[in-house]
Amino acid sequence: MNVDLVIRNAIVVACDGKNTVIKDGGVAVQGGRITQVAASADLAAAIQSAKTVVDGAGHILMPGLVNAHCHAADSLFRGLVEDLPLEPWLQKVWTAEGAILNPQTSYLGSVLGCAELLLSGVTSVMDMFWYPGETVRAARKLGMRVATGGIFFDGPGVTGGDLDSRIKAAEDFFAAFGGADDVFAATMPHGAYTVGPENLKAARAIADRHGGLFSTHAAETKAEQDDIQGRYGRSVIRHLDHLDLLDERATLAHCVHLDDEEIDILARTGATVSHNPMSNLKLASGIARIPDMLSAGVNVALGTDGAISGNDLDMWLALRMAATLHKGATQRADAVSTIEALAMVTTTGARALGASDRLGSLETGKLADMILVDVRRPHAVPLFDPVTHLVYSTAKSDVRHVFVGGEHVVRDGQLTRHSIDETLDEVARLAPRIAATIA
């Protein structure tokens, strides 16, 4: 047996739905897939033939995280517009984006955002942005997986163009990237308030034709609910359901303002809700009814949204907020359990990507997307339960090693494929132009 990689001596948190924890264990990897998850003592044979052996002592080994809603390239606008609610905030954001974004700057911002994600242990991201081909190029540069695809937006937006050109761009994206194992090709209409019913259906039809994913913002604010109700005589989720857009390949970002029946619709259709607690709090959108969604059986994944609405892309902060915010809001300590929260960044995120069979857990046969989290730190000891540690006390800087398909893409906290200093310098040179857009 030839083995490419063995990681041993780690605390394994498998996220396999059976709460498997191995106190001293690891994995063997061959051809980008996990071939063994075992105690360190049982990895001896694999180590004999392994090309690379990584010592995971003092670390938790777990699946790479899935960020189920992001706009990585919006990191260029981090901190530019503050202390406004969504609607006036969006107007300023769109002005800045319109002045700055082109394929080159979108690539630059995507590298910046993807670097932050990958360094913090996110190995797959669902990313909605103009020039999605540039997002793929950035993710591939660093070695991470991305779900993205053609944007639909009824106004000219950043790129200009009409419905025909959006359809062509979406089809071209599937032609270029459909079927790639590092790209989950999708169509991504911005939202029901910016994309009319026919265009939403056109976006969904393209995704359906190619077996791809579909993602949109939904029910982010009370004002959006009122707007859609006024225009179409239905609430946002009823509207999307009426248009037959919802199934297990659809991911709806936010879903902050839902009534009971809308939650039932999400559960019935199998659509994923991407919960973005940081963005929802900072933009004063509200608090999503996540405990009610979990009780109803809705697939709830977790996202950061863009750094323009949350100022960074910290999935560990999102995780801790998902596990704590709803306890406070409902005054119920079991509102979202530790295990439920951890599932949001692993297994349910993988389900949102349509990749439950390949990602989200450390199990034999799955893709070797894995991270090593340093637990020999003052905020990490003593460590009675690695799961509670991951949810309540891990910081993004604790992620020391990241593997995607078995490739060591972050080693000792550094990207292995790209020198990030070049990107940081380039962003610094662009920053005065960005600042000038809202001056």
- Least separation in angstroms between CB 92 and Zn ion: 16
- Least separation in angstroms between CB 345 and Zn ion: 17
Judged by beta carbon, residue 305 or residue 314, the one nearer Zn ion is 305
Q: Which residue's CB atom is positioned nearest to Zn ion?
A: 305
- Least separation in angstroms between CB 433 and Zn ion: 24
Q: Report the alpha-carbon distance of residue 58 to residue 56 in Å, rounded.
A: 6
- Least separation in angstroms between CB 68 and Zn ion: 11
Integer CA distances (angstroms), 300 to 185, 210, 433, in order: 20, 24, 38
Q: Which stretch binds Zn ion (CB under 5 A): 136-144, 239-247, 302-310, 314-322?
A: 302-310
Judged by beta carbon, residue 276 or residue 423, the one nearer Zn ion is 276
Q: Which stretch binds Zn ion (CB under 5 A): 18-26, 109-117, 305-313, 349-357?
A: 305-313
Judged by beta carbon, residue 245 or residue 252, the one nearer Zn ion is 252
* Helix (H) or strand (E) segment spanning residue 325: helix 315-330
Q: Which stretch binds Zn ion (CB under 5 A): 186-194, 239-247, 299-307, 410-418?
A: 299-307
Query: By CB under 5 A, is residue 398 in contact with Zn ion?
Result: no
Quick one: tokens of 55? 């010592």
- Least separation in angstroms between CB 181 and Zn ion: 26
Decide: residue 45, CB within 10 A, 0-12 exposed, 13-18 middle, 19+ buried.
middle
Judged by beta carbon, residue 158 or residue 370, the one nearer Zn ion is 158
Judged by beta carbon, residue 59 or residue 275, the one nearer Zn ion is 275
Quick one: tokens of 400? 């020391």
- Least separation in angstroms between CB 310 and Zn ion: 10
Question: What are the φ and ψ backbone dihedral angles of 7, each rounded to 5 degrees?
Answer: -110, 130
Strand partners, 189: 152
- Least separation in angstroms between CB 217 and Zn ion: 5
Judged by beta carbon, residue 30 or residue 274, the one nearer Zn ion is 274
Size of the site for Zn ion (CB under 5 A): 1
Judged by beta carbon, residue 224 or residue 305, the one nearer Zn ion is 305
Judged by beta carbon, residue 97 or residue 305, the one nearer Zn ion is 305
Query: By CB under 5 A, is residue 224 in contact with Zn ion?
Result: no
- Least separation in angstroms between CB 151 and Zn ion: 12
CA 196 to chain centre: 26
Helical H segments across 211-259, by residue range: 222-232, 236-242
- Least separation in angstroms between CB 193 and Zn ion: 13
Q: Are 85 and 319 in contact (CB under 8 A)?
A: no
Query: By CB under 5 A, is residue 305 in contact with Zn ion?
Result: yes
E-only strand ranges, 338-438: 370-374, 399-404, 407-411, 414-415
Q: Report the alpha-carbon distance of residue 131 to residue 100 in Å, rounded.
A: 13
State in Å, rounded, how far the first CA of the chain is from the last one: 63
- Least separation in angstroms between CB 240 and Zn ion: 16
Using N-to-C axis directions, what is the helix angle for 86-100 and 222-232, rounded to 10°?
Answer: 90
Strand partners, 22: 12
Quick one: tokens of 233? 């005589």
Judged by beta carbon, residue 116 or residue 305, the one nearer Zn ion is 305
Q: Are 213 and 247 in contact (CB under 8 A)?
A: no
Judged by beta carbon, residue 78 or residue 366, the one nearer Zn ion is 78
Q: Report the alpha-carbon distance of residue 21 to residue 38 in Å, rounded.
A: 10
Contacts with Zn ion, 135-174, as mask; x by CB under 5 A:
----------------------------------------
Helix (H, G, I), strand (E, B) or coil at 63: strand
Q: Which stretch binds Zn ion (CB under 5 A): 153-161, 297-305, 370-378, 421-429?
A: 297-305
Integer CA distances (angstroms), 111 to 134, 176, 183, 253, in order: 9, 20, 16, 22
Q: Which stretch binds Zn ion (CB under 5 A): 96-104, 207-215, 301-309, 423-431?
A: 301-309
CA 368 to chain centre: 18
Query: By CB under 5 A, is residue 262 in contact with Zn ion?
Result: no
Q: Which stretch binds Zn ion (CB under 5 A): 53-61, 81-89, 300-308, 359-367?
A: 300-308
Strand order in the sheet with 213-218: 65-70, 122-127, 145-152, 183-189, 213-218, 250-254, 272-275, 299-302
Strand 50-55 to 33-39 pairing: unpaired
- Least separation in angstroms between CB 276 and Zn ion: 7
Residues 314-353 that bind Zn ion (CB under 5 A): none
Question: What are the φ and ψ backbone dihedral angles of 335, each rounded to 5 degrees?
Answer: -60, -45
Judged by beta carbon, residue 305 or residue 398, the one nearer Zn ion is 305
- Least separation in angstroms between CB 173 and Zn ion: 19
Q: Which residues bind Zn ion (CB under 5 A)?
A: 305
